[in-house]
Amino acid sequence: MKTVVQDAVVFLVMVALLLGCTQRSDRVVAVVVHPSKPTLVYVATEEAVYKTRDGGLAWKRLSEGLRRVRVMNLAIDPQLPANVFAGTLADGVYKSPDGGRRWLPRNAGIQKGTISANVNQLVFDPIDSQILYAATTVGVFQTRDAGQSWTERMRGMSEINFIVALAVDPMSPNILYAGTSGGVYRSLDGVDHWTKTNNGLVPDDAKMASMALGVNRLLIDSADPDVVYAGTTRGVFKTLNKGEEWTRLAAGLGELYVSSLVLEPGNGQHLYMGTSRGIFQSRDGGHTWKTTNNGLDNLNIRTIAMDPRDPLMLYVGTNGSGLFRSRDGGESWTHVPLATGRPQ
């Protein structure tokens, strides 16, 4: 049986592997689809950000203003989609006000001392898109002015700094969840205070609690926000009561490294899970799973994205074989080269 120390080492090794040590366009770390224009897609690799307006026939490389091109994640403003935000490796946050043509640093306050933040995820408040939250390697940060200034929001996380994932309740934006290197924390007051909610995730007597379980992705069921999924370094978990209790799903698959989770909008039973062993799909809320890897050259999945208007259209970023797309809900996949073409 693995010790907590071994789990911590495994977590750090997997993080290092996912970050990579070279800048390669075949490592796709983030994919976001425009909320109303499904043929407009942004992709972040370990060497650039790319954009297509025609569903992937031609791509444009976007880097003007980025001092470092190692972008970790992307987020589109749901109310003003021309605004695109990028979280980077060791260079904080950038904002593009014009769909990626140029990037402007938005880093005031998003650091700890002289340490610049690795920004693992950016999420918007579902009501006011001037408000964003950043999950970083030095804590949780909040902006209320679209990134002009950031404030640390770590009260209650005394033993944690490494924040990997965030999720905001779509019906009650004051409720947020943070995935950390030591499990899940929850805030009920708009990140003024955090409380550990690890019942079923991490034993109460776990040693090295700050590194007991890496939570890579959090996903809230928009139709029933009491239901939250957590993709972790040791499998996928689910809560039916806002994190009070967690239950392991897919136990028969072993301790999978889960990098990404996607839920079909309006259908809380239909879930996709990206892992170090490919993509798994569940149609019963996570009770049973099947593999959906037909056509994939690489089963080391970095990210999954779903077209918000067409749940059959999915994109997958892999750790070494680039971008893939499915038009049939994951039943088959086709490679999408990030080939630059005519100006967009």
- The identity of residue 208, as a single letter, is M
Alpha helices (runs of H) in 151-212, residue ranges in sequence order:
none
- Please say whether the beta carbons of 162 and 178 come within 8 A: no
pLDDT of residue 268: 87
Reading the block at residue 110, the tokens are 């998003």
Residue 7 parent element (H or E): helix 4-19
C-alpha dihedral sign at 82, 83, 87, 88: positive
pLDDT of residue 38: 93
- The identity of residue 223, as a single letter, is A
Residue 67: CB atoms within 10 Å: 11
pLDDT of residue 207: 62
- Please say whether the beta carbons of 81 and 97 come within 8 A: no
Q: Give, for all 344 residues of the chain, the pLDDT tens digit.
A: 444 434 443 444 444 444 444 346 789 999 999 999 999 999 999 888 999 999 999 999 998 998 866 899 999 999 999 999 999 998 899 999 999 999 999 989 987 776 778 999 999 999 999 999 999 999 999 999 999 999 999 999 988 889 999 999 999 999 999 999 999 999 999 999 999 999 999 877 666 667 778 999 999 999 999 999 999 999 999 999 999 999 999 989 988 999 999 999 889 899 999 999 999 999 999 999 999 999 999 999 999 999 999 999 999 999 999 999 999 999 999 999 998 765 44
Could you give the C-alpha distances from 273 to 153, 228, 265, 304, 327, in angstroms and in order?
A: 29, 14, 15, 8, 17
CA angle 222, 227, 228 (to 5 degrees): 90
Reading the block at residue 173, the tokens are 């934006």
Residue 184: CB atoms within 10 Å: 29
* Residues paired with residue 224 on neighbouring β-strands, in sequence order: none
Reading the block at residue 154, the tokens are 């770590």
Residues 88 and 107: their CA atoms lie apart, in Å, by 11
pLDDT of residue 126: 95
pTM over 0.85: yes
Long-range contacts of 309-313 (CB under 8 A, 24+ apart): 309/36, 309/38, 310/38, 311/264, 311/265, 311/267, 311/270, 313/33, 313/38
Reading the block at residue 228, the tokens are 């939250």
